[in-house]
Copies of this chain bind each other. A is one copy, B any other.
Amino acid sequence: MNLAKVMGTVVASQKDEKLDGLRFLLLATAGPDGQLSGSSVVAVDAVGAGPGEYVLYASGSSARQTRVTDGRPVDAVVMAIVDSWEVEGEERYHKGRDD
Protein backbone atom coordinates (compact mmCIF):
# COMPACT_ATOMS: atom_id res chain seq x y z
CA MET A 1 0.00 0.00 0.00
CA ASN A 2 0.99 3.61 -0.27
CA LEU A 3 0.13 6.77 1.54
CA ALA A 4 -1.71 9.32 -0.58
CA LYS A 5 -3.75 12.48 -0.23
CA VAL A 6 -7.17 12.77 -1.84
CA MET A 7 -6.96 15.65 -4.31
CA GLY A 8 -10.27 15.42 -6.10
CA THR A 9 -12.69 13.32 -8.06
CA VAL A 10 -13.03 12.04 -11.61
CA VAL A 11 -16.37 11.84 -13.43
CA ALA A 12 -16.93 9.36 -16.27
CA SER A 13 -20.38 8.59 -17.61
CA GLN A 14 -19.32 6.41 -20.56
CA LYS A 15 -17.67 3.38 -18.97
CA ASP A 16 -17.66 -0.37 -18.64
CA GLU A 17 -20.96 -1.54 -17.15
CA LYS A 18 -19.19 -3.10 -14.15
CA LEU A 19 -18.11 0.36 -13.04
CA ASP A 20 -21.60 1.70 -12.36
CA GLY A 21 -21.94 3.22 -8.93
CA LEU A 22 -18.22 3.44 -8.17
CA ARG A 23 -16.66 6.71 -7.05
CA PHE A 24 -13.27 7.60 -8.53
CA LEU A 25 -10.82 9.57 -6.42
CA LEU A 26 -7.78 11.39 -7.76
CA LEU A 27 -4.89 10.73 -5.37
CA ALA A 28 -1.47 12.33 -4.98
CA THR A 29 0.98 9.82 -3.53
CA ALA A 30 2.77 10.92 -0.36
CA GLY A 31 6.01 10.10 1.45
CA PRO A 32 6.67 9.46 5.16
CA ASP A 33 6.69 13.19 5.90
CA GLY A 34 3.35 13.71 4.18
CA GLN A 35 4.97 15.61 1.32
CA LEU A 36 3.45 14.80 -2.06
CA SER A 37 5.71 12.93 -4.47
CA GLY A 38 4.39 14.51 -7.65
CA SER A 39 2.82 11.35 -9.03
CA SER A 40 -0.88 10.62 -9.06
CA VAL A 41 -3.26 7.68 -9.35
CA VAL A 42 -7.01 7.25 -9.68
CA ALA A 43 -8.55 4.85 -7.17
CA VAL A 44 -12.04 3.62 -6.34
CA ASP A 45 -13.33 4.75 -2.97
CA ALA A 46 -14.26 1.89 -0.62
CA VAL A 47 -14.37 3.84 2.64
CA GLY A 48 -16.04 7.20 2.07
CA ALA A 49 -12.84 9.25 1.83
CA GLY A 50 -13.00 12.94 0.94
CA PRO A 51 -10.72 15.66 -0.45
CA GLY A 52 -7.81 16.59 1.80
CA GLU A 53 -7.73 13.31 3.71
CA TYR A 54 -4.70 11.07 3.83
CA VAL A 55 -5.52 7.52 2.86
CA LEU A 56 -4.02 4.12 2.11
CA TYR A 57 -4.65 2.60 -1.29
CA ALA A 58 -3.95 -0.89 -2.56
CA SER A 59 -3.05 -1.71 -6.17
CA GLY A 60 -3.32 -4.61 -8.57
CA SER A 61 -5.51 -7.66 -8.01
CA SER A 62 -5.64 -6.76 -4.30
CA ALA A 63 -7.74 -3.75 -5.29
CA ARG A 64 -10.54 -6.17 -6.16
CA GLN A 65 -10.72 -7.71 -2.68
CA THR A 66 -13.22 -5.23 -1.22
CA ARG A 67 -16.98 -5.72 -1.43
CA VAL A 68 -17.46 -2.74 -3.76
CA THR A 69 -14.65 -3.67 -6.17
CA ASP A 70 -15.05 -7.46 -6.37
CA GLY A 71 -14.86 -8.66 -10.00
CA ARG A 72 -14.59 -5.17 -11.45
CA PRO A 73 -11.96 -3.77 -13.82
CA VAL A 74 -10.26 -1.53 -11.27
CA ASP A 75 -6.62 -1.70 -10.20
CA ALA A 76 -6.52 0.69 -7.24
CA VAL A 77 -8.78 1.10 -4.21
CA VAL A 78 -8.79 3.39 -1.20
CA MET A 79 -9.24 0.89 1.63
CA ALA A 80 -8.42 3.01 4.70
CA ILE A 81 -8.49 6.61 5.90
CA VAL A 82 -5.35 7.37 7.88
CA ASP A 83 -5.65 8.71 11.44
CA SER A 84 -1.94 9.09 12.07
CA TRP A 85 1.47 7.64 11.39
CA GLU A 86 4.80 7.78 13.14
CA VAL A 87 8.41 7.43 12.00
CA GLU A 88 11.13 6.43 14.49
CA GLY A 89 8.77 7.00 17.39
CA GLU A 90 7.80 10.50 16.33
CA GLU A 91 4.29 11.26 15.10
CA ARG A 92 4.61 12.77 11.64
CA TYR A 93 0.93 13.11 10.85
CA HIS A 94 -2.19 13.31 12.92
CA LYS A 95 -5.56 13.86 11.30
CA GLY A 96 -7.08 17.22 12.18
CA ARG A 97 -3.74 18.65 13.31
CA ASP A 98 -1.74 18.34 10.09
CA ASP A 99 -4.35 18.59 7.35
Contact = CB atoms under 8 A, between A and B. Distances in A.
A43 B10 contact: no
B12 A86 contact: no
A67 B17 CA distance: 9
A23 interface: no
A9 B72 CA distance: 25
Contact of A13 (B1, B39, B83): B83
A24 B3 CA distance: 11
Contact of A8 (B1, B63, B76, B85): B85
Interface of A: 1-3, 7-19, 24, 26, 28, 31-32, 39-43, 46-48, 51, 56, 58-67, 69, 71-77, 79-89, 92
Query: What 3 pairs across the A-B complex have the smallest Cβ distances?
Result: A15-B80, A12-B80, A65-B73
